[in-house]
Structure 1
Amino acid sequence: MLGEIISREHSYMVRLLVILDQKLNRLKQEQSINYLIVNDIVSYLQRHSELTHHPKEDLIYGYFIEHYGHEHKIENLALEHKQLSETTQEFADLLAMVLQDTVVPNDVFAQHLSHFIHQQKKHLDFEEREILPILKQNFTEQDWEAVEALWGSEDVDPLFGQNIEKEYQRLSEFMKTD
């Protein structure tokens, strides 16, 4: 069921945000971090969210509004997804500068990382606490089958799926040892 897939994907994202929190704490203690791991996480969150996760949610939310009427919390999620995408891109741009050896003070980077983590967590928490319960309360099995038919086949996750894509091998190995 797509609702369960959404929750599972949220749990994957939370795992990655925990790693970013650890990196943030190291920065605050003026310790070094592996920026490539941070980049891998941001790349995954950006790619998976924008190409798979958010479009899947937007499909579900659109179906809900079409069949169950307006729900203020749900109607604003497409805009929130767009804003989250912009925040992610801004952080990815700063991270790219760091990886290209541009001097970015640790406190400035830490502030941006903290904001990025906060925005991601806030969004995930909202969907888990507010949106998914509304869907689970209202959707019938036929509704879930309908949105699954609209979405098509299940996605292949490049990091948490059966086969880890080359781009995420380093992060996958890091998660096994961390």
Structure 2
Amino acid sequence: MRIAIGADEAGYTLKEIIKSYLGDKGVECEDFGPSDGNEQIDYPDVGFAVAEQIMQGRFDRGILVCGTGIGMTITADKVPGIRAALCHDTYSAERARKSNNAQVLTMGARVIGPELAKHVVQAWLDAEFDGGASERKVQKIMEGEQRLNQSRGPQSENSCS
């Protein structure tokens, strides 16, 4: 399994801990930044880079870390075909894979501690999509995404007049 990993400066330290954890487990991963904790990097830049790599099939899954995990989740979910899940507990991480086939795990470095983050990563790595009734629902998500992307015209501002 190949993992793409990235963070903004708020998630740098936790990203490094997770990267080390993955290496100790023999999981191949590539770091999409930042290269140090002082490098200012906007989470959308990293979130899009990682999610696009997965969309293109270069990596199997991705892990993204920012301060809360929310910005990375929103960003990665904008990439067609990507399902990113914000998880701060092992049950949600397991279900993100088993029920939603989420290819991207996001976490907030200001929300979760390093030891729990390792357990969350492991639960997510160990889980596989089990289809069943969830397969129909994930297929509906993918079809809806495709339909919306095809019908999108020029973007306009909505007003409440």
Report the TM-score when normalising by structure 1. 0.29
* Greater strand share, structure number: 2
* Greater helix share, structure number: 1
Larger radius of gyration: 1
Q: Using CA pairs under 8 Å that are at least 6 residues apart, name the structure with larger relative contact order, 1 or 2.
A: 1
